[in-house]
């Protein structure tokens, strides 16, 4: 009879320990969770973007679906170019070559997304304004922005010494980003523009976008930005490997 309470105590202890450890039921989140989300969101954007109901607008008609592809491209470009700017500033403060590689690869990715933005925009312009390209502040600004960043790549290509290239390219990159802000954010708001959201034109937010479209638009923005970041990380890894093999040769 004496042993009974003792045994109960032991059993208790085991159960308590077990519940604390909880090893079998822990959900292990893989490091690449955001990549899965990116793929799912982009897939959802493509499927829902083409199939869901959209409001019938006079000139836009079905081209309004381009909103899910054209606008997120520019959002992703601004995000990734901001990453580029951030790493350029870091490069100047710690004079680290890796920051320069990250900054340049971010700019490369930004140009990729920017080119896609120009192409989707051009298609949209053809079906709504009637021309592939119109002389508009916003459109010209986007084109010049691409030129500024292409000049950045030329500048990087023309300096051989690594440390020097990192510093000088970083300085130019900071200039480039400031000019980009002036071009895409300030100037189009001052002058007349066909582009929605500029020159007195209302943006899409005001009345075209109903709750159905928001259901696709916001996931689309997040999905495209995540996908862009994924491409960017791949480029950075590739560039770092290239540099490592170069150094070892």
Partner 1 sequence: MLFLQVKYLVAKEVKLEMRNKYALGGILLYVVSTIFVSYLSFKQIINPATWNALFWIILLFASINGVAKSFLNETRGKLLYLYTLVSPQAVILSKIIYNSLLLIVLSGLCLFVYSVFIGNIIQDLSLFLLTLLLGSIGFSSMLTMVSAIASKTSNNFTLMAILSFPIMVPLLMVLIKLSRNAIDGLENWDLNYLMVLMFLNIIIIALSYLLFRYLWRD
Q: Smallest distance, Å, CB 187 to partner 1?
A: 6
Of residues 134 and 155, the one with the C-beta less far from partner 1: 155
Closest distance between partner 1 and the C-beta of residue 107, in Å?
Answer: 14
User: What torsion do the CA atoms of 220, 224, 226, 230 make, to the nearest 10 degrees?
Assistant: 150
127 token code pair:
């079906």
- Quick one: 45 or 173, whose CB is closer to partner 1? 173
Q: How many other C-beta atoms can be found within 10 angstroms of the C-beta atom of residue 241?
A: 10
Nearer to partner 1, 29 or 147 (CB): 147
The HSE-up count of residue 89 (CA atoms within 13 Å, CB side) is 10
Shortest distance (Å) from residue 172 CB to partner 1: 6
Kindly state the smallest distance separating residue 81's Cβ from partner 1, in Å.
Answer: 15
Helix, strand or coil for residue 130?
Answer: coil
| Least distance from partner 1 to the Cβ atom of residue 236, Å | 22
- For partner 1, the closer of residues 39 and 155 by Cβ is 155
CA distances from 171 to 98, 104, 153, 175 (A): 16, 12, 13, 7
CB atoms under 10 Å from CB of 246, counted, come to 8
Nearer to partner 1, 83 or 176 (CB): 176
Which residues have C-beta within 8 Å of that of residue 1, sequence separation ≥ 6? Answer: none
Q: Are 97 and 163 in contact (CB under 8 A)?
A: yes
CB of 247 to partner 1, least distance (A): 22
Query: What's the min distance (Å) between Cβ of 147 and partner 1?
Result: 4
Within 10 Å of residue 159's Cβ, how many Cβ atoms? Answer: 14
Q: How far is CA 58 from CA 64, 213, 231, in A?
A: 11, 17, 37
Looking at the Cβ atoms of 36 and 190, the one nearer to partner 1 is 190
Instruction: Tell me the CA end-to-end span of the chain in Å, nearest whole number.
Output: 79
Contact residues: partner 1, CB under 8 A: 92, 137, 141, 144, 147-148, 150-151, 154-155, 158-160, 164, 167-168, 170-172, 174-176, 178-179, 182-183, 186-187, 190-191
The residue (of 37 and 144) whose beta carbon lies closer to partner 1 is: 144
């Amino acid at each position: 009879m004496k042993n009974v309470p003792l045994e109960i105590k032991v059993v208790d202890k085991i159960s308590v320990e077990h519940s604390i450890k909880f090893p079998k039921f822990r959900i292990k989140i893989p490091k690449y969770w955001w990549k899965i989300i990116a793929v799912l969101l982009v897939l959802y954007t493509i499927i829902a973007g083409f199939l869901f109901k959209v409001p019938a607008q006079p000139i836009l008609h079905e081209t309004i679906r381009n909103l899910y592809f054209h606008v997120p491209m520019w959002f992703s470009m601004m995000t990734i170019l901001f990453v580029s700017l951030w790493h350029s500033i870091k490069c100047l403060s710690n004079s680290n070559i890796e920051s320069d590689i990250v900054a340049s690869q971010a700019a490369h990715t930004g140009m990729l997304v920017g080119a896609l933005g120009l192409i989707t925009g051009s298609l949209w312009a053809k079906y709504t304004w009637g021309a592939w390209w119109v002389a508009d502040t916003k459109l010209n600004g986007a084109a010049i922005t691409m030129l500024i960043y292409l000049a950045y790549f030329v500048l990087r290509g023309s300096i051989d010494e690594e440390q020097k290239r990192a510093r000088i390219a970083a300085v130019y990159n900071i200039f480039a980003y400031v000019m980009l802000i002036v071009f895409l954010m300030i100037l189009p708001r001052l002058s007349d523009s066909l582009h929605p959201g500029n020159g007195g034109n209302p943006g899409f937010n005001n009345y075209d976008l109903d709750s159905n479209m928001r259901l696709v638009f916001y996931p689309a923005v997040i999905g495209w930005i995540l996908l862009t970041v994924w491409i960017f990380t791949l480029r950075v890894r590739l560039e770092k490997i290239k540099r490592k093999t170069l150094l070892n040769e």
